[in-house]
Structure 1
Amino acid sequence: MTAGRYRVTVTTGGQPLIQGWWGSEVIARRKFTAWVGEHGDRPGARVTLVDEETGETLTEWPDGR
């Protein structure tokens, strides 16, 4: 099974804590929101959603777009 196009990553202190890949942007955005809720209170937490095909960061937290 190949990884999906959309990657969500949670980092703390600049180090990856958890990552996941989804083929659907809608599902990846739901996971992004869920992981902000689950991991956003960790010190130094950052959550990003990247389109692996284009390399574009679609949104990030904190300071999301």
Structure 2
Amino acid sequence: MVTRHRVTLQFAPGGPTVEGEWTAPATAKTRYTQWVGLYGTDPDVVIQLIEETDGQRRVRKTWTTRGEATGDAAH
């Protein structure tokens, strides 16, 4: 069982997504925080921290200009 940690950055609804993937959760959390700092004030941006194990994805955090949602509220 391999767990991957992804961070996604979408600049517009339905638009292309930039994505990074790491096996180390700390690296993914750092990238998430960096992207929130760089792009988080754009009204259309959505940034997500996602954990994936055996093909099952779980959104851990979602950032929009309204702020951050965690866990199940992040959907």
What's the TM-score once normalised by structure 2's chain length?
0.71
Aligned to 1:30: 30
Point out the more displaced range, 12-21 or 44-53: 12-21
Task: Tell me the CA shift for residue 26 of structure 1.
Answer: 1.2
Runs of 4+ in 1 over 2 A off after TM superposition: none
Aligned to 2:73: none
Give the aligned CA root-mean-square deviation in angstroms.
Answer: 1.7
* Runs (5+) with no aligned partner, structure 1: none
Q: Supply the AA of the counterpart residue of 1:12.
A: F
What's the TM-score once normalised by structure 1's chain length?
0.80
* Runs (5+) with no aligned partner, structure 2: 71-75
Aligned to 1:12: 11
Instruction: Look at both structures and tell me which one has the larger radius of gyration over its CA atoms.
Output: 2
Q: State the identity as a percent.
A: 27
Length, aligned pairs only = 62
